[in-house]
Chains A and B, each alone.
Chain A
Amino acid sequence: MQHTTSRPRSSRPSVLLAATGALLVGGLLFPLQAQERGDECEAMVEEIRREVRATRRMIGTGSLDPGVLEAMATVPRHELVPKAVRDRAYRNRPLPIGHGQTISQPYIVALMTDLLEPEPGDVMLEVGTGSGYQAAVLAELVDRVYTVEIIPELARRARSDLERLGYRDIDVKTGDGYHGWEEHAPYDGIVVAAAASHIPPPLVRQLKPGARMVIPVGGAFATQHLTLVEKTEEGKVRTRQLLPVRFVPLTGEH
């Protein structure tokens, strides 16, 4: 163990200056940053609440499950995005995470999570891990999350970031998400990060009766709508499309 003694009075002003500086940086700045992050995160959750109220008619609900909002407030989003965009982590906007991939804006993540109707004992599948943020939000709410990522570098990064943050209930696998993750099926919910030209039939098969799958449709940095795939208790499949924005295409309708 290292022992340090402090000298109450330094004859050298530069040392004093350095010590004060260190004190400032170490003692003040970090907690301050954490405080700021907390404020930013709170503001983000507040904005999500507002957005949900504004788009009530489009998304069929006036408020999200409190658990979902709590999860959004808990997961350190800034820890899961690349350093270059960390300062913008809590803004309600999509961010680039490298390899041409993006992380959805928090409002969309919250909405998708809510649409899956997560319950504590659930097992969920995610196709397209990306930064690992969506998996972390889900992991706050359910028992276990299995997530598959095509790009090996992204899978590696997400795995180590999630481990570092203490998420033990998430399994990350590199591979082809089209076939889901057969061993752990069926799932109580599936979230697909980006739309393909069609809904993968293997994923529909891995969905429990009564469970839902949610797919955002659109380009990078722009989610056009969300496609919700619902499997009824009888095993019939229906899809539903939700516009995540308060917009009616015909005037005179509100």
Chain B
Amino acid sequence: MRQAKSDDGGAGLLLLSIGLLSGTSLAFEILVMRLLSIVQWHHFAYMVISLALLGFGASGTFLSLFRDHLRERFTAVYLVNAVLFGSTLVAVFAVAQRLPFNPLQLVWEPRQTLYLSTLYLLLTIPFFCVANAIGLALDRFSDRIHRIYRADLIGAGLGAVLVIGLLFLVPPVLCLRILSGLGLVGAALAAWSPHLGSRKRLGGILLTAGVLLPFLIPSGWTELRISQFKALRQALNRPEAEIVARESGPMGLLTAVRSPEIPFRQAPGLSLEFPGTLPEQIGVFTDGGSLSVINRHDPATEPPRFLDYLTSALPYHLLDRPSVLVVGPGGGTEILSALAHGGRRIDAVEANPQMVELVGHRFDEFSGRLYRQPEVELHVAEARGFMARSEGSWDLIQIALIDSFASASSGVHASSENTLYTVESLAEMLDHLEPGGILALTRWVHLPLRDNLKLFATAVEALEARGEDRPERRLAWIRTWNTATLLVKAEPFGAGELETIRSFSHERSFDLAYLPGMREGEANRFNLLEEPAFFRGATALLGPDSASFLERYKFHVAPATDQKPYFSRFFKWKTLPELLRLRGRGGTPLIQWSYLVVVATAVQAAGAGILLILLPLLLSRAEATRAPGTGRMATFFLTLGLAFLFVEISMIHHLTLFLGHPLYSVAVVLGSFLLFAGLGSGASQALTERLRDWDPLPGSLRRRAVALPVAGTALLALLYLPALPWVIDRWIGLPDPLRIPIAILLLGPLAFLMGMPFPLGLARAGSRHPEWIPWAWGINGWASVVSAVLATLLAMHLGFSAVLGIAAVLYLLAAALLLRI
């Protein structure tokens, strides 16, 4: 007993070390994705990180190939890998930043693929090291697999939550330094552990190094080198331009720039008839890109006149002193416009608290005390969550140019979810309108038409979903050469309103894109397209052949839904061959690279997995790989790796709406998932032993006790399919402090069960062939990487419920396989 206790104490330090290393590596994954999104572009960051995670898989191969050799030197190998992990975090990022990689030139320059591969390899290093340490511990202490795995999962869960919290407090580069130090502390903890020989002095040295490291790294190493092709760098090229404020948070790094000599002049689609000048503006860049501006304004004087010469001003000419809801105000231009147009009550919903800090505090005076005007009320919330909880209604809901032109045009967000522009979302907004109220949606124009048509199609379906007959009478659409504003009403537009729209547009040389009862001859007058594409598209989408139009159109412009919330996915496979032929001949901007990046990531991850993990293992001629049942064992761990992330990603999506922001959803789901799965892992052995001896259970099931938790996971996942929407619908209106615990309670049971199959399978595999352990570790790591990417692709095409359903089937398969290992 005493012996067991002291052993536990010793194991405690090692487990703590494993937990800390695991947590730090997950935090590094999230952080480096942020950092790469700032210096480069989000979708490439996504691809690079997904592939770097293959380090986990490669580690499995490494451990199996040199198993005996490494096991003998467990202490040294563990410590060296832990130290390497900690000390390379900053170094690999510093080197990665210095590579002349420019994703924009991938199409034009073959050598860019070489830089890209180097990037992958570099970022693989820390993941490889940390996986070596943990994988070897699993193998070395195979009798305590469930506890080591528990420490690994709980650590990862805490790491995810902590890094998001930390990003609120300190700039991302400081986070990186801190993580680097934590890696060394993880090594120190292990050095103290009796399992590694209680090396007190070494532990002390490592701890000191860990504490000092964040401060000792030269500042040049972590200085962010933003791509020269990003908007922020271009703005800073202007003489006299300077950064006047920075705000950092998990939703983005905001940089405010003042440029007195060559001012910002952000006035999207400004009418050529505008006679005046623009006010001074401060440019605010998110992650070095997407520009939003703060206009200089003195509340004692008239608001800037240019606001009335933008298409988004149209609804104010149809409403008298309206109550307004501005969604995503950014720098506040639309709030100012609402004030300028006599809005009597203005609610602004801004998701990013850092943006509020800039507009509402740092540049409060400059902005004309925008958020302190008596008419204005600010809500820091994500739009959908706000809508779901709000009982208010408005005369006008204004959503104008939330994404920047560049991000929308390069299709950066093909794989990013957007719950704002879905059928359900627009229908909900229409529910929040006062009688006669207007929903106004302004977007940039991209040619050939893509997002604009998709928005129109989504609005038509939202009207139909609400049971409005003849949607064609409830839509009005105007445009300039680069912006278009769509008005949606629950009621039909009246003759007087249509007259106002015509004269508003005519006075400003704006074109009519679509109006109820409009003739084609009225379209395409001031800003000529080769054909009246807006009008024809709108009429086709409203007509009886809209399904055939959506089918024949070469971009995917069918409405986005909550199940498939990928508004910015325009990619169609059948158009690809044609566009590839036109690549380099003006067709490059028509290809949605961000979609292809997801596919390329899946293909590369699969290929790299086969090359780096399966092939070496098969060639190694290890006896274990020839043993009967190897295929079943490998398939089992492959299935588990796929299913675990399918469930996790599907849950993150479902709870995004419930919790109000993707970030909260990621933190809550990752945190509670890994935590409960960790607890499940810890309890797995005891539970199966209990089940085996549990008399009420029929003998046939008792004999298969080990597979019961796996089958239980599948059944529970299936039950969640109908249960989730019910729970979300019922409690979405509750305040934050109640919704978060509900989400955690909801995830708990499923995650608890999901923590069991891996350690149960690993213990079973280990008892058959100990050499299988690193193998299983590698395959599972590889499958997790492929799974995350695959889940996104499946969700785009089949929807998130399908992803959860597939996961349930995979767990059933795993249960069957486990019995035959």
Question: Interface on A for B, CB 8 Å cutoff?
Answer: 51, 54-55, 58, 92-94, 96, 99-100, 107-108, 150-152, 174-176, 178, 195-201, 204, 217-225, 227, 237-252
Contacts and interface: CB of A to CB of B under 8 A. Distances in A.
A249 B555 contact: yes
B410 A201 contact: no
A198 B270 contact: yes
Given A249-B553, A251-B552, A224 B589 contact: yes
Given A152-B239, A239-B481, A198 B409 contact: no
Contacts of B107: 221
Given A198-B267, A201-B274, A92 B237 contact: no
Interface in B505-533: 509, 526-530, 533
17 contacts: A54-B585, A96-B102, A107-B586, A151-B238, A176-B261, A178-B262, A197-B267, A197-B270, A197-B482, A198-B270, A217-B482, A219-B229, A222-B410, A224-B409, A237-B509, A240-B527, A249-B448
Given A219-B410, A220-B104, A245-B585, A250 B552 contact: yes
B768 to A, nearest CB: 55
Contacts of A100: 227-230, 233-234, 237
Contacts of B589: 218-219, 222-224
Contact of B262 (A150, A224, A243, A249): A150
Contacts of B89: none
Contacts of B554: 247-251
B552 A198 contact: no
A248 B578 CA distance: 10
Q: Which of A96, A220, A227 has the most CB of B within 10 A?
A: A220
B719 to A, nearest CB: 44
Q: Which of A197, A200, A239 has the most CB of B within 10 A?
A: A197
A247 B234 contact: no
Interface string B563-574: 000000000000
B481 A227 contact: yes
Contacts of A248: 554
Given A92-B584, A100-B234, A221 B590 contact: no
A51 B585 contact: yes
Interface string B545-586: 000010011110000000000000000000000110010111
B448 A51 contact: no
Given A151-B237, A249-B553, A222 B528 contact: no
B268 A198 contact: yes
Interface of B is mostly: loop
A118 B584 CA distance: 27
B582 A246 contact: yes
Contact of B582 (A199, A204, A245, A250): A245
B523 to A, nearest CB: 14
Given A176-B262, A247-B578, A224 B446 contact: yes
Contacts of B528: 238-241
A250 B586 contact: no
A4 B603 CA distance: 66
8 closest Cβ contacts across the A-B interface? A245-B586, A100-B228, A198-B270, A249-B448, A222-B589, A240-B528, A220-B229, A176-B262
B141 interface: no
A243 B530 contact: yes
A252 B552 CA distance: 8
A222 B529 CA distance: 20
A221 B552 contact: no
B104 A241 contact: no
B265 interface: yes
Nearest to A204: B272
Contacts of B448: 243, 247, 249
Contacts of B406: 219
Q: Which of A92, A100, A240 has the most CB of B within 10 A?
A: A100
A251 B586 CA distance: 19
A247 B575 CA distance: 10
A192 B237 CA distance: 18
Nearest to B444: A197
Interface size, B (range): 35 or more
A108 to B, nearest CB: 8
A183 to B, nearest CB: 19
A197 B584 contact: no
A201 B233 CA distance: 26
A99 B586 contact: no
Nearest to A100: B228
Interface string B158-202: 000000000000000000000000000000000000000000000
Contact of B584 (A93, A195, A204, A246): A93
Given A224-B446, A250-B554, A197 B268 contact: yes
Interface of B: 102, 104-105, 107-108, 227-230, 233-234, 237-239, 261-262, 265-270, 272, 274, 405-406, 409-410, 446-449, 481-482, 509, 526-530, 533, 549, 552-555, 578-579, 582, 584-590
B75 to A, nearest CB: 50
B702 to A, nearest CB: 61
B293 to A, nearest CB: 9
A224 B588 CA distance: 9
A163 B528 CA distance: 39
A218 B272 contact: no
B588 A222 contact: yes
B233 A241 contact: no
A250 B553 CA distance: 5
Contact of A244 (B105, B409, B584, B586): B586
Nearest to A215: B481
A197 B447 CA distance: 16
A224 B449 CA distance: 12
Given A100-B234, A221-B104, 13 more contacts: A55-B586, A58-B530, A176-B262, A178-B262, A196-B265, A199-B272, A221-B107, A224-B447, A239-B481, A241-B530, A243-B586, A244-B586, A249-B554
Contact of B269 (A151, A198, A247): A198
A239 B527 contact: yes
Contacts of B102: 96
Nearest to A91: B108
Contact of A241 (B269, B527, B553): B527
A247 B238 CA distance: 37
A199 to B, nearest CB: 6
B527 A222 contact: no
Contacts of A107: 585-586
B105 A96 contact: yes
B104 A243 contact: no
B361 to A, nearest CB: 26
A99 B228 CA distance: 6
Contacts of A99: 228, 237
Contacts of A200: 265
A92 B108 CA distance: 10
A150 to B, nearest CB: 6
Contacts of A250: 549, 552-554
Nearest to A57: B530
Contact of B481 (A204, A241, A245): A241
B481 A199 contact: yes
B553 A245 contact: no
A240 B527 CA distance: 5
Contacts of B233: 100
Contacts of A51: 585-586
B266 A150 contact: no
Contacts of B552: 250-252
A94 B585 contact: no
A248 B582 CA distance: 12
Contacts of B234: 100
B312 to A, nearest CB: 13
Nearest to B234: A100
Contacts of A218: 409, 589
B584 A237 contact: no
Given A196-B265, A197-B270, A201-B272, A241 B447 contact: yes
A55 B528 CA distance: 18
A58 B447 CA distance: 12
A220 B588 CA distance: 12
